[in-house]
């Protein structure tokens, strides 16, 4: 599969990798929405509780997502340069190390719940009555974090080798298990929010076992990687970790910035005139948005290993530079088209969709306002994601961090806060939309600088020509 990523036509490779990744994400997001549906049946407060938990949960995931990005990029680059031993060593050692690290963290978070629950969520604006509900949901997740960490890092290594379909099936199996256990534990055993959390943890355990089996089958997880009995072996392992965390540290920082922005926005949404409904709506629209943008998110995920393999082969094959150019151009157009189609669909279906999860008219109205305003700028948000993935693939983690830093801390948070003081919750949505547009423009500027340094054919290329060409091709097809 590694050779296919280097030799397969770029368009076919991107679609072949994105399709199963999108299906896997789609299943995951659908199951999360079903989870929200079940919890929504318990009441508006329970729905608001998981909305409060989302930024913290996302914040924690961001730590090991940054590591997973680094693992994927380094394994992909090693495979591209035909260094199989390094790819196996990175995949094996980082998986065990990161799991042990988060096993320790999860245990501490569970034990010191006055800090991990009461103090943290109070800062987000949760009232005392809400903290008990949040505790029921978050404490089991803290304990099971190491299982999710292992699953995502293993999946990152598999993607770096181009193993997409089998890992998608694993995600689907975990989702079905989560769905079934959700219903049983929430309603039949009457465990409420705790039941939803334990169902998620059990599904993580199943996915981890299956992912490990795939790693062994693909010869990416090797017991020999742990035989660090000589000074040379230790030195080699340290070198591998150094390569990974040279990219992981800025990738982790970049990943953490997004949930920080969400947390700050949640805090101001909780200060609005209708806090419970607004927070419940915000948590819900984030999940719907993730579901609707699954194609863009999947493309962003697979871009890193695809770019990494071709970048790794660049030293011995200048044709890889042309493949990088093609990947940038194609992924950009795919992102814009997907975002516009999603916006068109959400204009029509957002009200009945939100009504499935909440019968509160206030929640429905807040959700509609969000998508009417933010929806049109989602292609810009997607272009920024694609650009950060590209930078990670070419080992430019600092540029990826710089881009995310500007988007989250210098654009999203200030614009959202300013909007809040001008127009309450509605102003927050306008602030997010403006930040998406400005972030996309800044991403394009950074990307063009990098492309010019490598004498790329598409640096400062008038991209509108490609869109005109696509439109003409579409008209021709419809005439046929």
The per-residue pLDDT for range 336-346, each reduced to its tens digit, is: 999 999 999 99
Q: What is the mean pLDDT of the chain?
A: 87
pLDDT at 160 over 80: yes
Q: How many CA atoms lie within 13 A of 63 on its CB side?
A: 16
Q: How many CB atoms lie within 10 A of CB 90?
A: 28
> Could you give the CA distance from residue 97 to residue 117 in angstroms, rounded to a whole number?
26
Mean pLDDT of 192-211: 94
Q: How many CB atoms lie within 10 A of CB 115?
A: 11
- Determine the number of helices (DSSP H) and then strands (DSSP E) in the chain: 18, 0
Say what angle helices 128-160 and 165-183 make with each other, to 10 degrees: 160
Pick the closest to residue 331 from 18, 9, 39, 20 (CA basis). Answer: 18
* % pLDDT > 70, the chain: 96
> Could you give the CA distance from residue 311 to residue 332 in angstroms, rounded to a whole number?
18
* 63-119: pLDDT as tens digits: 777 888 889 888 988 887 788 888 899 999 999 998 998 899 999 999 898 888 988
Instruction: Please give the residue that has the higher pLDDT: either 24 or 431.
Output: 431
pTM for this one?
A: 0.77
* 64-77: pLDDT as tens digits: 778 888 898 889 88
pLDDT at 3 over 80: no
pLDDT at 445 over 50: yes
DSSP state letters, 105-160: HHHHHHHTHIIIIIIHHHHTT--HHHHHHHHHHHHHHHHHHHHHHHHHHHHHHHHH
Q: Which residues contact 204 (CB under 8 A, 6 or more apart)?
A: 144, 147, 148, 151, 174
Q: How many CA atoms lie within 13 A of 119 on its CB side?
A: 6
Mean pLDDT of 441-448: 94
pLDDT at 4: 63
* 35-49: pLDDT as tens digits: 778 888 888 788 888
Judged by average pLDDT, the poorest of 50-54, 130-134, 221-225, 476-480 is: 476-480
Mean pLDDT of 266-273: 91
Q: How many CB atoms lie within 10 A of CB 330?
A: 17
> Could you give the CA distance from residue 146 to residue 141 in angstroms, rounded to a whole number?
9
pLDDT at 2: 43
Cβ atoms of 397 and 251 closer than 8 Å? yes
- Helix H or strand E segment including 417: helix 413-453
* 353-370: pLDDT as tens digits: 888 888 888 999 999 999
pLDDT at 207 over 90: yes
Instruction: Please give the residue that has the higher pLDDT: either 455 or 440.
Output: 440
pLDDT at 172 over 70: yes
pLDDT at 309: 81
**CA distance to 114, 236, 250, 442, per residue, from 227 (Å):** 41, 12, 29, 46
Q: Residue 229: pLDDT band by 50, 70, 90 thresholds? A: low
* 279-336: pLDDT as tens digits: 889 988 988 898 888 889 889 888 888 888 888 776 555 556 778 888 898 999 999 9
């Amino acid at each position: 599969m590694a050779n296919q990523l280097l030799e397969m036509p770029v368009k076919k490779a991107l679609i072949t990798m994105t399709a199963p990744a999108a299906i896997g994400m789609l299943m995951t997001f659908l199951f999360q929405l079903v989870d929200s549906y079940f919890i929504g049946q318990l009441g508006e407060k329970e729905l608001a509780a998981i909305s409060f938990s989302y930024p913290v949960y996302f914040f924690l995931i961001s730590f090991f997502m940054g590591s997973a990005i680094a693992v994927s990029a380094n394994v992909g680059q090693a495979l591209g340069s035909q260094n199989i031993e390094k790819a196996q060593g990175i995949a094996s050692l980082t998986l065990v190390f990161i799991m042990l690290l988060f096993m320790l963290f999860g245990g501490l978070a569970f034990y010191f719940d006055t800090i991990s629950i009461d103090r943290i969520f109070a800062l987000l604006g949760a009232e005392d009555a809400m903290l008990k509900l949040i505790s029921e949901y978050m404490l089991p997740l803290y304990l099971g974090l190491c299982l999710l960490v292992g699953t995502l890092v293993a999946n990152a290594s598999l993607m770096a080798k181009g193993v997409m379909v089998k890992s998608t099936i694993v995600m689907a199996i975990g989702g079905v298990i989560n769905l079934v256990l959700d219903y049983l534990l929430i309603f039949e055993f009457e465990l409420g929010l705790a039941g939803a959390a334990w169902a998620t943890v059990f599904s993580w355990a199943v996915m981890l076992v299956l992912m490990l089996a795939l790693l062994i089958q693909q010869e990416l997880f090797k017991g020999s990687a742990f035989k660090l009995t000589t000074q040379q072996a230790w030195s080699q392992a340290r070198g591998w970790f150094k390569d990974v965390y040279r990219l992981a540290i800025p990738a982790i920082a970049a990943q953490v910035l997004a949930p920080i922005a969400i947390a700050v926005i949640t805090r101001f949404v909780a200060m609005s005139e209708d806090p419970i409904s607004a927070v419940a709506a915000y948590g819900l629209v984030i999940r719907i948005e993730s579901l609707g943008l699954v194609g863009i998110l999947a493309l962003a995920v697979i871009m890193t290993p695809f770019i990494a393999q071709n970048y790794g082969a660049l030293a011995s094959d200048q044709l890889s530079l042309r493949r990088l150019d093609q990947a940038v151009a194609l992924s950009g157009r795919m992102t814009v088209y997907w975002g516009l189609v999603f916006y068109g669909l959400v204009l029509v279906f957002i009200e009945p969709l939100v009504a499935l999860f909440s019968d509160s008219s206030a929640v429905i109205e807040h959700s509609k306002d969000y998508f009417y305003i933010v929806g049109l700028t989602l292609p810009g948000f997607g272009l920024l994601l694609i650009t950060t993935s590209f930078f990670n693939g070419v080992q430019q983690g600092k540029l990826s961090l710089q881009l995310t830093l500007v988007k989250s801390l210098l654009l999203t948070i200030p614009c959202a806060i300013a909007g809040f003081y001008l127009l309450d919750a509605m102003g927050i949505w306008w602030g997010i939309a403006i930040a998406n547009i400005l972030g996309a423009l800044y991403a394009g500027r950074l990307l063009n600088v990098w492309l010019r340094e490598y004498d790329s054919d598409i640096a400062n290329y008038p991209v509108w020509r490609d869109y005109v060409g696509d439109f003409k091709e579409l008209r021709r097809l419809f005439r046929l």
